[in-house]
Amino acid sequence: METKALSSSLGVEISGIDDLLDDVVIARCVEALKWRGVLLLRGADLDDETQITLSRKFGDVVTFGGREIFKVSLDPSVNPAAEYLKGTFNWHIDGTTDPVPIKATMLSARQVAMVGGGTEFASTYAAYENLPDKEKERIDNLTVVHSLEASQRALNPNPTDEQIAQWRSVPSQEVPLVWRRRDGRCSLVIGTTADHIVGLSADESRALLDELRDWSTQERFVYTHEWQVGDLVMWDNTGMLHRALPYDASSRRTMHRTTIFGDEAFK
């Protein structure tokens, strides 16, 4: 097994694997994912069954309508929730309204866009670590409210009452802005679902959230993945912000996604 860093702060490409499902290989992938945040296997070409088997090695797999594979596509005939997926164009963390967020997400590229459609990752571990001490002190004990509504408003600033009601059917959640992890590291719980910081005025709150997003998504904390058909990418959703780079809904870009339940609550 060979490893190659994808950028200075995050990401590792793994190659030279005979049996991806081998327990020793999995153990090394778990370590690599922990320290590098994003794992890439070029030309993995997994079928759905193998992707599910592999995903189960990392934890329990989330089901959507009884299925483990969720098709990420902007084509409503492939994914009826295509409209919501436009939210993936903004920096986000998956599952910020769940008490225990998703641990990791795996995408297998089935079809790629001719133009755009890369995926960007930003390490909030590295971003927090590199904040000046004064800034750490300023944010260390703040809490932030996350909601589906905040992420959808960013796409649709003039919603109907019905749309608002639908968004609000997902309860919002207050979590620590700085998430102190079991292993001693800290990540930032920010992104497009972050609605406001508790106790700050709306303007101060927005300014701080924008500042932390901009800080975290500087080039030095980011890896941009350009997809090739067959690529498998897995990321630590508890520490990486991510977003899809724009692509056309007619591009047929299709990712088969599996999602792994987390085991560490926000606290």
List contacts with Mn ion (CB under 5 A).
Answer: 94
Closest contact distance (angstroms) between CB of 24 and ligand OGA is 29
What secondary structure does DSSP assign to 102-168, as a single string? Answer: --EEEEEEEE--SS---EEEEEHHHHHHTS-HHHHHHHTT-EEEE-HHHHHHTT-SS--HHHHHHHH
- Residue of 68, 94, 195, 236 interacting with ligand OGA (CB under 6 A): 94
Q: Look up residue 32 and give its DSSP letter.
A: H
- Residue of 113, 189, 257, 262 interacting with ligand OGA (CB under 6 A): 257
Which residues, numbered 106-165, are part of the site for ligand OGA (CB under 6 A)? 119
240 binding partner (options Mn ion, ligand OGA, none; Cβ < 5 to 8 Å by kind): none
- Residue of 44, 178, 244, 260 interacting with ligand OGA (CB under 6 A): 244
**CA-closest candidate to residue 123, choices 36, 6, 195:** 36
56 and 25 Cβ atoms separated by less than 8 Å: no
The span from the CA of 241 to the CA of 234, in Å, is: 13
190 touches ligand OGA by CB under 6 A: no
CB nearer to Mn ion: pick between 58 and 139 = 58
- Residue of 9, 105, 193, 254 interacting with ligand OGA (CB under 6 A): 105
244 binding partner (options Mn ion, ligand OGA, none; Cβ < 5 to 8 Å by kind): ligand OGA
36 touches ligand OGA by CB under 6 A: no
Per rule CB under 6 A, count of chain residues that contact ligand OGA: 9
Contact map string, positions 59 to 88, toward ligand OGA, x by CB under 6 A: -------------x---------------x
Give exposure, 172-191, as e/b (b: 16+ Cβ within 10 Å).
Answer: bbebbbbbeeeeebbbbbbb
CB nearer to Mn ion: pick between 14 and 240 = 240
**CA-closest candidate to residue 239, choices 220, 221, 258:** 221
- Residue of 103, 146, 242, 256 interacting with ligand OGA (CB under 6 A): 242
Closest contact distance (angstroms) between CB of 85 and ligand OGA is 8
Closest contact distance (angstroms) between CB of 134 and ligand OGA is 33
CB nearer to ligand OGA: pick between 32 and 244 = 244
CA distances from 176 to 129, 139, 237 (A): 16, 9, 16
- Strand 12-15 and strand 2-5: the pairing is antiparallel
The span from the CA of 147 to the CA of 161, in Å, is: 17
**CA-closest candidate to residue 88, choices 115, 107, 61, 68:** 107
6 touches ligand OGA by CB under 6 A: no
The span from the CA of 146 to the CA of 124, in Å, is: 17
Residues contacting 83, CB < 8 A, separation 6+: 76
CB nearer to ligand OGA: pick between 35 and 64 = 64
Residues near ligand OGA (CB under 6 A) are: 72, 88, 94, 105, 119, 242, 244, 255, 257
